[in-house]
Structure 1
Amino acid sequence: MDRLMALNVFRHVVELSSFVAASRRLQLSPAAVSKNIGELEAHLGVRLLNRTTRRLSLTEAGKLYYEQISLVLDDLDAADSSLGLHQHVPKGVLRISAPTTLTLLTTLSQAMPKFLDRYPKLSLDLRMDDRRVNIVQEGFDLAIRAVDTLEDSSLVARKLMTTPHVVCASPDYLVRHGTPEKPSDLLHHKCVQFTLSGHPDEWAFWRGDQSVRVPIDSRYKVSSSLAVRDALCSGFGLSLIPWIYVKKNIENGQLRTVLEGWTTVELSVYAVYPSRRHVMPKVRAFVDFLIEELTP
């Protein structure tokens, strides 16, 4: 048994929750992956994985072993990287997941060529998608997340920026339907719901010691903030949307904010990546670049 290979196979099977996915990532046959796991369990004299046709899970011993060998494998990677200064230069392929709207409506998409010019040995695979990806299972090095509240997880999170939400509409819509003076007035207006937000069906507002939650059930529900913005500019209705997404539209008069005396949720932007003792140079370089571009 090639013990180092078996440990790597075991780690990939656990993190991808699949023998088949691990075989693809490691460029091994499924039979070779199964053989490595079987030989490792035989060597240890203990079952590491519970396998059924539909589900793969760690045994108690497997969980403990995974935690320990992950640290060992990370240390081996760090030892390889410490052999020379040139090893600390960011290189290879950096796979990033980022929200479409945030990437296009901030400086991020324009800044990516600058990042690549700075690190000529690095290639960037940027996947723009508003859904929440599983970083480990889908093979990403890092994800940018724009959320109201960051869920608990084993990922390392670095906060990059915060932007408030605003309620806004086109001047034409407000002329035709009136301007809401208080949050409960939204019940009598056409609203556009962004379905991937953390608050699609209820918008919360605060003013002093007042707290108001407004249930929202609109005719137009959409999974793109760009589509929400376009609906607002067309005069369709009102929506609760991150200010940074409509900043230019407000400045040029296409949209007007309402409920000025009320505050609501904020959108926070994070860089998240797998929790490891040693962060790869390419990931560290990109996080530093994000801080440079997005942190006020």
Structure 2
Amino acid sequence: MDRLTSMNVFVRTSELGSFAAASEALRISPQMVAKHIARLEARLGTVLINRTTRRQHLTDIGRSYYERCKVVLVEAEAADAIALEMKTTPSGVIRVNAPVTFGSSTLAPFITQYLDNFPETQVELTLTDRLVDPVEEGYEVILRIGELTDGPMIASPLRPYRLIACASPGYLAQNGVPDTPASLAQHSCLVYGIWSPQDPCRWIFSKDGKTHEVRPAGRLRANDWRALLHAAVKGYGVTLGPEDVLKEEITAGRLVQILPDYTGPSRPMHVLTPAGLRQTVKIRCFINAIKEAFG
């Protein structure tokens, strides 16, 4: 058995808390997990994990060995990255994090095209609206919408994430077409997020250097924008959503943009990488492609 492989099995077992969980994560049998741990313990002449029928926990030596194994594995991966960097064709796994709506509607088609262009690459895409810790959680590329508050990161600006207001032709025929942001107060709005009276939702529009704030209200609120898009297409009200997605619905005739003379809310968008991360060919190529597509 390879010692680095055994160290990796030991680290995953320690982190996941059981042989069964490590077996599932590593796609090997529980018996093979046990063999890797037993091999390390035999080599070191000590017990690393105390095991009972109900639970397991690291010994004092096991905890120290676990910390050193993590360092060794990181260094081994860095050594592999140096070798990969010398290749001209990007290859390997790219771990990417992005916001949910942008990731599922706009980034996902870009990634599938990228995989077609570079068949030796793989992408692990995680979508979440929370602020992730790229170092702790192992992300190499992060798409971030909004003001940057991260620590040491390399940030490249992309085009702003612009929102526009739309409604279905049927809704507008029945309820009239809003001609100013203030007139949205007379309409049923589809509100993204769960807001409270102390922290109400605000839609900000601008025109000729003046801003217009709207506090939308309606019968449906949701923390998933796709649900609101479905409701808008079905005629349940006015939605405010990403221009990249809504322009497809507008072209298809399912929605109509309202207030086209006003600029809707816009937020900065960046692609980030941890400052201490080695810029391998696979990462540089992926980021350059993102900047070309969304810059």
TM over 0.5: yes
Structure 1 residues 98 and 256, CA gap change in structure 2 (3 angstroms): same
Choose 30-39 or 153-162, whichever is displaced more.
30-39
Residues 115-164 of structure 1: CA distance to partner in whole angstroms, max 9, x if unpaired? 3344444322223444443323322222223x243334433222232343
Structure 1 residues 124 and 152, CA gap change in structure 2 (3 angstroms): closer
What residue in structure 2 maps to residue 135 of structure 1? Answer: 134
**Alpha-carbon offset, residue 168 of structure 1:** 1.3
**Alpha-carbon offset, residue 272 of structure 1:** 1.8
Letter in 2 for 1:253: G
Q: Is 1:35 equivalent to 2:34 in the alignment?
A: no
SS in 1 for 2:263: coil
Aligned counterparts of 2:253 and 2:271: Cα–Cα separation in 1: 33
Structure 1 residues 100 and 79, CA gap change in structure 2 (3 angstroms): closer
Letter in 1 for 2:207: R
Aligned counterparts of 2:219 and 2:257: Cα–Cα separation in 1: 21
Say which of 159, 162, 166 aligns to 1:161.
Answer: 159
Q: Is 1:184 equivalent to 2:182 in the alignment?
A: yes
Letter in 1 for 2:291: I
Q: Is 1:194 equivalent to 2:223 in the alignment?
A: no
Amino-acid identity (%): 26
What residue in structure 1 maps to residue 294 of structure 2? Answer: 294
Aligned counterparts of 1:186 and 1:209: Cα–Cα separation in 2: 20
Structure 1 residues 80 and 177, CA gap change in structure 2 (3 angstroms): closer
Residues 158-193 of structure 1: CA distance to partner in whole angstroms, max 9, x if unpaired? 223234321111121122222222222222211111
SS in 2 for 1:162: strand
SS in 2 for 1:137: helix
8 Å contact kept, 1:166–1:264: yes
What residue in structure 1 maps to residue 203 of structure 2? Answer: 203
Tell me which structure has the larger Cα radius of gyration. Answer: 2
Aligned counterparts of 1:84 and 1:252: Cα–Cα separation in 2: 44
Letter in 1 for 2:265: V
**Alpha-carbon offset, residue 93 of structure 1:** 2.2
Letter in 2 for 1:142: V
Aligned counterparts of 2:138 and 2:62: Cα–Cα separation in 1: 18
SS in 2 for 1:136: helix
Aligned counterparts of 2:113 and 2:67: Cα–Cα separation in 1: 47
Aligned counterparts of 1:114 and 1:182: Cα–Cα separation in 2: 40
Structure 1 residues 233 and 125, CA gap change in structure 2 (3 angstroms): same
Structure 1 residues 181 and 273, CA gap change in structure 2 (3 angstroms): same
Aligned counterparts of 1:254 and 1:152: Cα–Cα separation in 2: 39
Structure 1 residues 166 and 121, CA gap change in structure 2 (3 angstroms): closer
What residue in structure 2 maps to residue 232 of structure 1? Answer: 232
TM-score with structure 1 setting the length: 0.65
Structure 1 residues 239 and 82, CA gap change in structure 2 (3 angstroms): closer
**Alpha-carbon offset, residue 234 of structure 1:** 0.7
SS in 2 for 1:211: strand
What residue in structure 2 maps to residue 56 of structure 1? Answer: none
Letter in 2 for 1:116: L
TM-score with structure 2 setting the length: 0.66
Q: Is 1:255 equivalent to 2:255 in the alignment?
A: yes
Aligned counterparts of 1:245 and 1:196: Cα–Cα separation in 2: 22
Structure 1 residues 243 and 111, CA gap change in structure 2 (3 angstroms): closer
Aligned counterparts of 1:79 and 1:278: Cα–Cα separation in 2: 11
SS in 1 for 2:240: strand
Unpaired runs of at least 5, structure 2: 1-13, 17-21, 26-32, 38-48, 50-57
What residue in structure 1 maps to residue 148 of structure 2? Answer: 150
Letter in 2 for 1:273: T
Aligned counterparts of 1:38 and 1:172: Cα–Cα separation in 2: 62
**Alpha-carbon offset, residue 287 of structure 1:** 0.6
Report how many aligned residue pairs link the two structures: 246
Aligned counterparts of 1:125 and 1:38: Cα–Cα separation in 2: 26
**Which residues in structure 2 correspond to 1:78-117 (within 5 Å)?**
86=86, 90-106=90-106, 108-117=107-116
What residue in structure 2 maps to residue 175 of structure 1? Answer: 173
Unpaired runs of at least 5, structure 1: 1-18, 40-68
